[in-house]
Chains A and B, each alone.
Chain A
Amino acid sequence: MRRQLRSRRAPAFPYGSRYRLDDQDEVNQNYLADEEEEAEEEAQMMMASNSEEEKEEEEEEEKEEEEGQGQPTGNAWWHKLQVINEYLWDPERRMSLARTGQSWRVMIRPFAHSLNFNFNVSEPDTWQHYVISLNGFLQGYNDSLQEEMNVDCPPGQYFIQDGDEDEDKKACQFKRSFLKNCSGLEDPTFGYSTGQPCILLKMNRIVGFRPELGDPVKVSCKVQRGDENDIRSINYYPESASFDLRYYPYYGKLTHVNYTSPLVAMHFTDVVKNQVVPVQCQLKGKGIINDVINDRFVGRIIFTLNIET
């Protein structure tokens, strides 16, 4: 049983940490990279840290036992253990043990090691990396790929997939073309070459978490401090400026393999130039928290635009 579990677990760790973290930019570019390559890297890493692996396995065993004691006994014992071990999932509450009662965090793309977007329109060198980053990030959203992998599910409602915990889940399509002017399809520079930058906003994935009671979460941006008129217009794509309910809940990457995070693109079409403009984008909706001080990414994000001409 255990052996089986473990053999199952190995491919369940498709993303070697080194791969994912050391080269974040690459990650963005090759978001859905070749599975084989990953497996290879994984194997290398496993060999390199074989001894640690063993130690951990021992510990894991003990941990399993530890938790096992807290569970009801009976025929389902092994099954429970398997479920817990694999998913750390409380099936009754349908929640991850870890992330209960949380609120949405948001993050933006392009990822730039800082939240200050400074570039000179006439100098492509200053914004080229944003374009590369966005392009890379959107590879996974290519219409062809989405159509191939994911299903087109009805908008406006949760895409709830009941069934066994370990059953593979389907994912809803989020096509790159949804982003219109910010998709990079018509304007491969995402507006950076014209001083009208696109910035993509996504919500951090939380397993099993759903936006409050049927209302999609909306995005709205404004100048955080200073003259409101520094940003005269923003276009949102999709035009609803919201995250459709059909992308929720998220079942975790073990089963929800091809899940594609929904995005809202903000197209800053008329921003004051040659000046630092602090922008705050907030999530709006019922029960959405967006004013936590400690964590500056809860329900909002603040970044600056400084577009020089």
Chain B
Amino acid sequence: MRQRKLEIYSVEHHAATDIKKKEGRDGKKDNDLELKRNQQKEELKKELDLDDHKLSNKELETKYGTDIIRGLSSTRAAELLAQNGPNALTPPKQTPEIIKFLKQMVGGFSILLWVGAVLCWIAFGIQYVSNPSASLDSVYLGTVLAVVVILTGIFAYYQEAKSTNIMASFCKMIPQQAVVIRDSEKKVIPAEQLVVGDIVEIKGGDQIPADIRLLSAQGCKVDNSSLTGESEPQSRSSEFTHENPLETKNITFYSTTCLEGTATGMVINTGDRTIIGRIASLASGVGNEKTPIAIEIEHFVHIVAGVAVSVGILFFIIAVCMKYHVLDAIIFLIAIIVANVPEGLLATVTVALSLTAKRMAKKNCLVKNLEAVETLGSTSIICSDKTGTLTQNRMTVAHLWFDNQIFVADTSEDNLNQGFDQSSGTWTSLSKIIALCNRAEFKPGEESVPIMKRVVVGDASETALLKFSEVILGDVMEIRKRNHKVVEIPFNSTNKFQLSIHQTEDPNDKRFLLVMKGAPERILEKCSTIMINGKEQPLDKSMAQAFHTAYMELGGLGERVLGFCHFYLPADEFPETYSFDSESMNFPTSNLCFVGLLSMIDPPRSTVPDAVTKCRSAGIKVIMVTGDHPITAKAIAKSVGIISANSETVEDIAKRCNIAVEQVNKRDAKAAVVTGMELKDMSPEQLDELLANYPEIVFARTSPQQKLIIVEGCQRQDAVVAVTGDGVNDSPALKKADIGGAMGITGSDAAKNAADMILLDDNFSSIVTGVEEGRLIFDNLKKTIAYTLTKNIAELCPFLIYIILGLPLPIGTITLLFIDLGTDIIPSIALAYEKAESDIMNRKPRHKKKDRLVNQQLAVYSYLHIGLMQALGAFLVYFTVYAQQGFRPTSLFHLRIAWDSDHLNDLEDNYGQEWTSYQRQYLEWTGYTAFFVGIMVQQIADLIIRKTRKNSIFKQGLFRNKVIWVGIASQIIVALLLSYGLGSITALNFTMLKAQYWFVAVPHAILIWVYDEMRKLFIRLYPGSWWDKNMYY
């Protein structure tokens, strides 16, 4: 036995190395193949090492070294626990906090800034060696750069940690308990401490604590929905009924629930070795791909870093050619890089994303990973699970057929509005059967709870019927009391009916009432009459035909149909004292009176059809992927609009035209229903073709692996795929998807772990809100980036002109950082609050590879249009200050060498005045401050123009987004503080700027605004023109 176990472990070990090997590969194709092979191996494994269901109790005892009566000894259990680890799923591997932190420190622009800082220090070091009194400026700069990187790193880390923490608190669950027999005693222990060989007891309502081989069971039913996705109760007993361990009755699985009954069993697998554990590890084996926004930001960082480094190096070479000292050239290089890199932007983006995440959480869309916020916005295909996501996950009465007529019942969530005709006598009889022939009961003590929310003990169909009759008839328990039940035969799969006999509530009527429900064809067989309008009529051929039509129709809707009949037992044959016996069935079960049909379905959530329509208009393809039956799947798909009313599948066309399926032109069909069996035989190319050609697709009877294959197929179409689901079976697909959304209420932990997003209210329509927010944030990030990039030119020009034309330096590197990280931060965040310009839900999702966050138009317009204007405006302020101090603009050209010379202390200006180097330095700082203020003033205009990309600002409303004004106020306050508050601190290079200089750039700011309004006007006037193509970003 030991040997065997070792084998199992070795298999697992191989699997692990396989995954590693897989990750090592580069090619995506290879990856997929490898993954599939891996999956097959997993599947193989399941069948290989689980044969406990075939073993007898004795064999089990020896295999696991336990005793069925006395259980394990505590010492042995402790040993096994130490050996195999606790009975819990290993949480997905967490990156160590320190690694996460360091990643933030080197990600994005950080590495560039680190290089800058180090170069600064090196430059100082060299200077210091040659001249110990070298100025400390480059040390300051290097330190400031390092501080900036560290601060932004800490900030990003903190943001991420915060959103992770929300998740952690969400996932925390009450520890599970298990009743176990150890040392011949019943003990309640935490389920985590279960070990293989433990004998556990399960009762209705418990979660199964491990994979268990049942030894004995009484009326045990389990809900395997967390494994298979379908919540149909399955009975469990100790008999071995099927080769496949998943199908056999004597095994229950970890994390499924026991609905009713009791059972005793032996633990055969714990923790990660359980079936669920394996699926979960399958999920964690699926690689995490970069989110679209991460790709976009990377793209943006590459652009900016590319510009920064190439301009920097170009001017480094120019500077060296112009015979500048190499050290000076290095300092220029650093300055150019610092000017080009928007230091604050990545932090801003993080804040903007987390703001959106918060907003989404308010709308019941909890996003685990900040970057996933935007992913939802670029989603182009949603693969949705059916049960629980699109549907309410509870059976509800949908249709009734009596008096040869189909009635529609209300299936909305509250179910109160049952408006069908209830006047017929047939209905009176039918309702009585529904109420009486039912074993389900409300859990006591919940009378104040709305009927639809009360807990019911009983299976799904009976629950549906109970609630249905409670809504219509009132207190069903009371009715049952008045019609005392004499005998009953519960439903079983051989009879396919359920029967009970009651005394009637009418004290004058001494007859017994026999009520029966079951599979319609079985019920009909037992009837000879049918009730029409309260009257019994013989069941002739035409009536039978009508019955069949109705049955087929309701069945075709994917609904579960039940037939109802009754029979008043003649009082003379069955007096009050008659003793009924359910075993011998000493009462008639034929020639009954057929009353009606009733069909039930797990109805779609009322908000789903609307949400699906919205997705459609937003250009998002909704695909249903379910483990359910194709007919039901199709019916639900039709009712929620996943298959629209007028589209047909190939089969539909074949049926309508009465031709063979093969003869139908596949191009005619818009919709397709594909089952797991068909999918199994498809090659990836066929799947691609299927996904590409049909706008409306339903996948039915799919396995977890197939869900994964479908998602991969969608991703091959360059689509951004969102997957919603709740079960463990969905978790690999959730993980593989670009964004996985798990259900918050019904979702299993495995699903929640694998998902990027949790729909707190289990509502598919929350996704639509999410998509809207995601698209909005993408637009707003564009605006933020455009806003931030603009000033880069104004920051860069001073250095270029300084190098080429030798002006006294217009702005210092440290001053730049105060723009990037001081005045500009709040305004750029404020843009995240901007409302959408037009209906963003009416346009196509962005193309992952074509619609970039930062495109050429954005860069060109920001850099070369507004950016240059801004640079000009800032230079205007600079020249004004110098001119007023005595240096005319023309005299500034090529003044640099004299200006920067420490020894020249009587430099003459245009008025013959003479300046010492310290005076010049002070003037230079005043110039920095002036340039800074110039940029700040124009950034206010820039902020206002960035509110919209196409519409006029006045249409968008200047004051609708109040945060913008907070941003503007913050800019001004920060600038005032820097100039007047910190003006005396030498290292910061600010001076108290005279009041009049603050207004010099105002006309330029207005010019920028007017220019941008013109741009937008022409875009609106001439859509599709050259202007539109080149000026719209």
Contacts and interface: CB of A to CB of B under 8 A. Distances in A.
Given A13-B890, A56-B890, A250-B912, A88 B883 contact: yes
Interface string A89-121: 000000011110000010100011111000000
Contacts of B875: 59
A254 B888 CA distance: 13
A205 B893 contact: no
A170 B880 CA distance: 30
A60 B889 contact: yes
Contacts of B885: 98-99
Contacts of B415: none
Interface in A63-96: 63, 65-67, 70, 87-88, 96
B793 to A, nearest CB: 15
Contacts of A107: 905-906, 914, 916
Contacts of B1000: 63, 66
A254 B883 CA distance: 15
A254 B912 CA distance: 8
A80 to B, nearest CB: 15
A56 B894 contact: no
A207 B910 CA distance: 11
Contacts of A205: 908, 912-914
B884 A17 contact: no
B729 to A, nearest CB: 69
B1022 interface: no
Contact of A63 (B879, B892, B913, B915): B879
A259 interface: yes
A52 B876 contact: no
Contacts of A49: 805, 890, 893
B879 A56 contact: yes
Interface in B875-905: 875-876, 879-880, 883-886, 888-895, 897-898, 903-905
B883 A252 contact: no
A259 B911 CA distance: 12
B996 interface: yes
Contacts of A206: 913-914
A159 B885 CA distance: 25
A224 to B, nearest CB: 17
Best-buried of A21, A252, A253, A296 by chain B (most CB within 10 Å)? A21
B1003 to A, nearest CB: 6
B908 A297 contact: no
Interface string A47-65: 0010011011001101101
Contacts of B895: 17, 21
B884 A88 contact: yes
A15 B894 CA distance: 13
B591 interface: no
B894 A207 contact: no
B587 interface: no
A39 to B, nearest CB: 14
A178 to B, nearest CB: 20
Contacts of B889: 56, 59-60
Interface string A27-57: 0000000000000000001100100110110
Contacts of A202: 906
B580 interface: no
B324 interface: no
Contact of A295 (B886, B910, B919, B1003): B919
Nearest to B904: A24
Contact of B886 (A65, A88, A105, A256): A88
Contacts of A228: none
B891 A17 contact: yes
Interface residues of A, number: 52
Interface in A241-257: 250, 252-254, 256
A253 B911 contact: yes
A115 B915 contact: no
Given A252-B912, A253-B911, A105 B905 contact: yes
Given A13-B890, A22-B897, A259 B912 contact: yes
Given A21-B898, A297-B905, A63 B911 contact: no
A90 B137 CA distance: 36
Given A59-B879, A62-B876, A252-B911, A53 B897 contact: no
A204 B916 contact: yes
A294 interface: yes
Best-buried of B872, B875, B891 by chain A (most CB within 10 Å)? B891
Contact of A253 (B893, B905, B907, B912): B912
Interface string A190-221: 00000000000010111100000000000000
Interface in B845-880: 872, 875-876, 879-880
Interface string B769-811: 0000000000000000000000000000000000001000000
A204 B908 CA distance: 9
B910 A13 contact: yes
Given A66-B1003, A88-B883, A202-B906, A96 B893 contact: no
Given A21-B898, A66-B1003, A253-B912, A99 B876 contact: no
A24 B895 CA distance: 12
Contacts of A98: 884-886
Nearest to B908: A20
B886 A99 contact: yes
B905 A17 contact: no
B883 A114 contact: no
A256 B912 contact: yes
Contacts of B891: 13, 15, 17
A97 B913 CA distance: 13
A205 B915 CA distance: 8
B911 A207 contact: yes
A286 interface: no
Contacts of A46: 890
A8 interface: no
B158 interface: no
Contacts of B892: 17
A18 interface: yes
A286 B601 CA distance: 104
Contacts of A298: 916
Nearest to A294: B918
B999 interface: yes
A298 B919 CA distance: 10
Contact of A204 (B880, B894, B897, B914): B914
Interface string A276-296: 000000000000000000111
Given A17-B895, A98-B885, A253-B911, A204 B890 contact: no
Interface in A106-145: 107, 111-115
Nearest to A14: B910
Nearest to B875: A59
A204 B883 CA distance: 19
Contact of B883 (A20, A22, A63, A111): A63
Contact of B914 (A53, A65, A88, A105): A105
Given A17-B891, A115-B903, A207-B912, A105 B919 contact: yes
B179 to A, nearest CB: 83
Given A17-B891, A98-B884, A113 B903 contact: yes
B916 A52 contact: no
Nearest to B997: A66
B903 A15 contact: no
Contacts of A97: 884
B999 A66 contact: yes
B909 to A, nearest CB: 9
Given A13-B910, A21-B895, 13 more contacts: A15-B891, A18-B894, A22-B894, A56-B890, A60-B883, A62-B876, A62-B1003, A98-B884, A105-B919, A207-B886, A250-B912, A254-B911, A298-B916
15 contacts: A45-B890, A53-B890, A59-B879, A67-B996, A70-B996, A105-B919, A107-B905, A204-B916, A205-B908, A206-B913, A250-B913, A256-B912, A259-B912, A297-B916, A298-B916
Q: What 7 A-B pairs have minimum CB-CB distances, sorted nearest first?
A: A253-B912, A21-B898, A204-B914, A295-B918, A107-B906, A98-B885, A252-B911
